[in-house]
C-alpha cells in the first residue's frame, strides 16, 4: 500500500511517500509559512521521482492540527482535494501524536509542544516504549505553567518535541532530556506511520469527513467574539 503523507501545521513543510511501513522518500523544507506555494510542488516532485501520480497512491494522510491555523487548513484542504479527485481514502492524524512518533526511537515520557503564543502550548503526553507509542493525555491548549504542574505527577524526566521546544524548555522546572534538533520538527513519515496504524485498526475517512482540529478559536475569531460581547454590553 502506497501512502502519501503531508504536514504543514508549523513552519516546516514536509511530504513523505511510503510503501506500507517503509519510507520511500521524504521532502522537508523550513522556509516559513509559505506552504500554499510549496506543498503541491513538493508532493509532485516526490511522486515524479518514482514515476508515480496521485492515482497510484492508496492512502492520503495529513496532520490535521493543532498548529498554525493557516498551515493546518492548507494541509487538510490539499489532502481533501487529492482524496476527492482520486476517490481514495484519507486519514487525519493529530499533529501532536505525529510529533511524538518522532521519538519512538527512545523509551520514556514524551511531550510534544507547539507554540500557541502567550506562554501557552498545544500539548499532550505520551509514553514511548519498544518502538510503540501510548497516549497518556488528550490534546490540549494550556499554559506552560500548567504543563509544569502536570509533569510534576510523573517522577521521571521528559523529552520535548515540536516548535514550542525552546520556549517550553526555558520555562519548565521539570527535568528535560535534550532532543536532537533533527527530531524536534514535523516529519511526514511520522504522519504516515500514525495513519498506517489507524488504517490497520479499521479507520477509513472520506474527503468530506476530513476536517482540521484547532482546539481553540483563531485570533480573528476571538477578536470578533470580543467585539460582539462589547457591542451587547
pLDDT at 201: 96
What is the grid cell recorded at 87? 476517490
Contact 158, 109 (CB under 8 A): yes
Same domain, 90 and 18: yes
Contact call for residues 106 and 159 (beta carbons, < 8 A): yes
Q: Write out the residue range of the structural domain in which residue 197 sits.
A: 2-95+186-225
What's the rounded Cα separation, in Å, for the pair 122 and 117? Answer: 10
Residue with cell 503541491: 40
Q: Distance of CA 140 to CAs 47, 54, 65, 67, 214, Å? A: 35, 34, 11, 11, 10
Give the residue carrying C-alpha cell 482535494.
Answer: 81
Domain count within the chain: 2
Beta bridge partners of 97: none
* Whether 113 and 126 share a structural domain: yes
Domain for residue 36, yes or no? yes
Q: How far apart are CA 26 and CA 184, in angstroms?
A: 16
Residues facing residue 15 across a β-bridge = 6, 27
DSSP for 55-98, written as a single string: GG-SEEEEE--SS-HHHHHHHHHHHHHHHHHHT--EEEE-HHHH
Residue 31: what pLDDT?
A: 82
Rounded to two decimals, the pTM is 0.92
User: Could you tell me if 176 and 192 lie in one domain?
Assistant: no
Indicate if 158 and 175 belong to the same structural domain: yes
Domain of 125: which CATH number? Answer: 3.30.420.200
Q: At what angle do helices 35-49 and 69-86 cross, to 10 degrees?
A: 40
Q: Same structural domain for residues 37 and 70?
A: yes
pLDDT at residue 225 in the model: 42
Instruction: Assess if residue 233 is contained within a domain.
Output: no
Is residue 168 located within the same domain as residue 192?
Answer: no
Q: Which residue reads 493525555 in cell numbers?
A: 137
pLDDT per residue, tens digit, the chain (233 aa), is 999 999 999 999 999 999 999 999 999 999 876 898 899 999 999 999 999 999 999 999 999 999 999 999 999 999 999 999 999 999 999 999 999 999 999 999 999 999 999 999 999 999 999 999 999 999 999 999 999 999 999 999 999 999 999 999 999 999 999 999 999 999 999 999 999 999 999 999 999 999 999 987 655 444 444 555 556 55
Distances in Å between the alpha carbon of 76 and those of 17, 82, 155, 169?
Answer: 17, 10, 38, 30
d(CA 125, CA 110): 6
List the grid coordinates of 176. Answer: 528535560
CB 48 within 8 A of CB 41: no
Give the model's pLDDT for residue 34: 80
Cα–Cα distance measured from residue 169 to residue 155, given in angstroms and rounded to the nearest whole number: 18
d(CA 57, CA 17): 9
Amino acid at each position: 500500500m502506497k501512502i502519501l503523507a503531508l504536514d504543514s501545521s508549523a513552519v516546516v513543510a514536509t511530504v513523505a511517500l511510503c510503501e506500507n511501513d517503509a519510507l520511500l522518500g521524504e521532502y522537508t523544507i523550513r522556509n516559513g509559512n509559505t506552504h500554499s506555494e510549496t506543498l503541491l510542488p513538493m508532493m509532485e516532485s516526490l511522486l515524479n521521482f518514482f514515476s508515480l501520480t496521485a492515482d497510484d497512491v492508496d492512502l492520503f494522510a495529513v496532520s490535521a492540527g493543532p498548529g498554525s491555523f493557516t498551515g493546518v487548513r492548507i494541509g487538510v484542504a490539499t489532502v481533501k482535494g487529492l482524496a476527492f479527485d482520486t476517490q481514495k481514502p484519507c486519514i487525519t492524524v493529530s499533529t501532536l501524536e505525529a510529533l511524538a512518533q518522532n521519538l519512538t526511537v527512545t523509551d520514556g515520557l514524551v511531550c510534544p509542544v507547539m507554540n500557541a503564543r502567550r506562554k501557552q502550548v498545544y500539548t499532550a503526553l505520551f509514553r514511548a516504549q519498544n518502538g510503540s507509542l501510548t497516549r497518556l493525555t488528550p490534546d490540549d491548549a494550556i499554559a506552560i505553567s500548567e504543563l509544569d504542574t502536570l509533569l510534576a505527577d510523573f517522577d521521571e524526566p521528559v523529552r520535548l518535541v515540536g516548535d514550542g521546544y525552546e520556549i517550553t524548555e526555558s520555562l519548565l522546572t521539570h527535568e528535560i532530556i535534550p532532543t536532537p534538533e533533527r527530531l524536534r520538527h514535523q516529519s511526514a513519515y511520522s504522519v504516515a506511520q500514525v495513519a498506517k496504524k489507524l488504517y490497520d485498526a479499521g479507520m477509513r475517512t472520506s474527503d468530506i469527513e476530513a476536517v482540521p482540529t484547532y482546539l481553540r478559536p483563531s485570533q480573528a475569531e476571538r477578536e470578533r467574539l470580543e467585539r460582539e460581547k462589547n457591542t451587547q454590553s
